Amino acid sequence: MDRRRFLQNSGLAIGAATLPALKSLGAPPTAPAFGTWQDIRTQFQLRPGKIHMSQMLLASHPEPVRRAIEMHRQEFDQDAVAYWEANWQTAEIVVQKAAGAYLQCDPNEVALTDSTSMGLAMMYSGLVLKPGDEILTSTHDHYATEKSLEFAASRNGASIRRIVLYKDPSQATADEMVSAVRSAIRPATRIVALTWVHSSTGVKTPIRAIADVIAAANAGRDSQARIYFCVDGVHGFGVDDITMGGLGCDFFAAGTHKWIFGPRGTGILFARKDASHMIRPVIPAFSFNAYGEWLNLYPADKLTFGDTCTPGGFHSFEHRWSLNKAFEWQMTIGKERVQNRTRQLSTMLKNGLREMKHVKLHTPVSVELSAGINCFEVNGLTPDQVVAKLAQKNITASSSPYKTSYARLTPSIVNTEEEVTTALKAIEGLKVG
Ligand SMILES: Cc1ncc(COP(=O)(O)O)c(C=O)c1O
């Protein structure tokens, strides 16, 4: 890339009004208009005869995503370098724009990752902290959050303090969680690191209310001492109908291969514009502007988070470049509709589970305090035994990978009321003795 080529192409930045379409055999199909939930289900190639209630771990691809991946794959297989050359400057911008439309944020605030774990690692490793700074986190977070924080603190010298947000998940309240954070903030606290929906218990934390507590604490601090709010959002993302402004955190990491039903091996990391200086890139970006800056052709002070924080190197591009199709598909169905359907099926499941004497439901029933993860125990059986027994009945459940483990069923928009009823009957049949 030389100065002439750079200047010729510099209109391709995210801010440009229009982008050329991907140069390819033909555009992949756009999502069909929403018809019924059965129509949505038929867009998946899920194995028939099974009840798939663990898409929260790793999703199947709906048709528009599958077709886009296939189109890119064919092009790469036919002429990888030419296809990459023709599209590398724009393909990721297309995805950032789709993410921005879904999240209702500036696409420059979005970096693309390969997973929630990668986003968490980039977020926590990149934080500009020093010895004496404190990271306030909880005892309910995923392995990937705990380890990313430990790795980061071992390098920057910050300390980590973990607090309990609730003792009994089934009885958790928003006030209890908000108060726990409010009373734990100290002068040294610079980061609050939490998880939106705990995959350990299914509890949904009140992120907006906690963001307000942090904003109130920041009102009395100078900018050097500002507290930043980092969230692992993966199990609310694609369930709750939110915007980044509405949620109110500064940083948000989420995989898009779970509830968003995006390509496996994709995710996003959001950084609010007025907070993004707190995160330094970890892996060099291959974006057009980041390269331009390295070649002294683009001013460093114009680089955005989106320019610099998407890890570069060559990737499984057929997946990354198809993520826009998942966001478009979600929006065609409608974010509110997705939220209501997921809530409807989960509420039905939980109401059934809590009626069973041999079952202990650990997730709150309230939609304010839960999303789509439902954790429970069955008397006399370990979580793995529950999962194995449900698998014998062709129901895919999962056990939570935590020190205290529970069985989980996580109905999503691919499931039906009949499937929830069948799953409940199967659990009824697990009564021991
Ligand atoms: C709360 C939470 N965070 C992070 C992860 C890791 O997600 P990923 O596989 O996208 O890295 C998981 C796994 O399901 C999870 O439950």
User: Which atom of ligand 1 is least distant from the CA of 57?
Assistant: 14
- pLDDT per position in the chain (433 positions), as tens? 566 676 666 655 554 434 444 555 455 566 677 889 999 999 999 999 999 999 999 999 999 999 999 999 999 999 999 999 999 999 999 999 999 999 999 999 999 999 999 999 999 999 999 999 999 999 999 999 999 999 999 999 999 999 999 999 999 999 999 999 999 999 999 999 999 999 999 999 999 999 999 999 999 899 999 999 999 999 999 999 999 999 999 999 999 999 999 999 999 999 999 999 999 999 999 999 999 999 999 999 999 999 999 999 999 999 999 999 999 999 999 999 999 999 999 999 999 999 999 999 999 999 999 999 999 999 999 999 999 999 999 999 999 999 999 999 999 999 999 999 999 999 999 998 7
Q: Rounded to an integer, what distance in angstroms lies between the CA atom of residue 203 and that of residue 277?
A: 31
Q: Rounded to an integer, what distance in angstroms lies between the CA atom of residue 354 and that of residue 242?
A: 28
From ligand 1's centre to the CA of 174, what distance in Å? Answer: 23
The model's pTM is 0.95
Q: Is 58 in the pocket of ligand 1 (CB under 6 A)?
A: no
From ligand 1's centre to the CA of 288, what distance in Å? Answer: 30
Closest protein CA for atom 7 of ligand 1? 116
Residues 6+ apart with CB under 8 A from 78: none
Which residue intervals of the chain bear CATH 3.90.1150.10? 335-428
Which residue, chain included where needed, has tokens 């038929």? 42
CATH 3.40.50.1580: does it fit domain 92-332? no
Residue 390 CA neighbour count, 13 Å, CB half: 31
Closest protein CA for atom 12 of ligand 1? 142
Cβ neighbours around 10 below 10 Å, total: 15
| Domain covering 335-428, topology | Aspartate Aminotransferase, domain 1 (3.90.1150)
pLDDT of the residue at 432: 81
pLDDT tens-digit series, residues 15-36: 443 444 455 545 556 667 788 9
Distances (CA, A) of 20 to 86, 93, 341: 11, 11, 36
pLDDT of the residue at 33: 76
Q: Is 400 in the pocket of ligand 1 (CB under 6 A)?
A: no
Distances (CA, A) of 428 to 10, 250, 281, 325, 423: 62, 43, 50, 39, 9
Residue pair 14/108 in contact (Cβ under 8 Å)? The answer is yes
Which residue intervals of the chain bear CATH 3.40.640.10? 92-332
Helix (H, G, I), strand (E, B) or coil at 316: coil
Nearest to 56 by CA among 204, 326, 258: 258
Instruction: Name the residue type at position 114.
Output: D
Q: Rounded to an integer, what distance in angstroms lies between the CA atom of residue 395 and that of residue 410?
A: 11
From ligand 1's centre to the CA of 234, what distance in Å? Answer: 7
Q: Rounded to an integer, what distance in angstroms lies between the CA atom of residue 206 and that of residue 182?
A: 13
Which residue, chain included where needed, has tokens 């898409």? 55
Residue of 120, 199, 373, 375 to mutate, ligand 1, most atoms within 8 A of C-beta: 199
Q: Rounded to an integer, what distance in angstroms lies between the CA atom of residue 358 and that of residue 141?
A: 28
pLDDT tens-digit series, residues 237-288: 999 999 999 999 999 999 999 999 999 999 999 999 999 999 999 999 999 9
Residue pair 363/201 in contact (Cβ under 8 Å)? The answer is yes
Taking CB atoms within 8 Å and a gap of at least 24, the contacts of 214-220 are 214/181, 214/185, 215/248, 217/185, 217/189
Q: Is 116 in the pocket of ligand 1 (CB under 6 A)?
A: yes
Closest protein CA for atom 3 of ligand 1? 142
pLDDT tens-digit series, residues 152-175: 999 999 999 999 999 999 999 999
Which residue, chain included where needed, has tokens 């929630």? 116
Q: Is 53 in the pocket of ligand 1 (CB under 6 A)?
A: no
From ligand 1's centre to the CA of 254, what distance in Å? Answer: 8
pLDDT tens-digit series, residues 201-218: 999 999 999 999 999 999
Angle between helical axes of 335-354 and 323-333 (0-180°, round to 10): 80
Q: Rounded to an integer, what distance in angstroms lies between the CA atom of residue 306 and that of residue 321?
A: 15
From ligand 1's centre to the CA of 116, what distance in Å? Answer: 6
Q: Is 97 in the pocket of ligand 1 (CB under 6 A)?
A: no
Residue pair 404/376 in contact (Cβ under 8 Å)? The answer is no
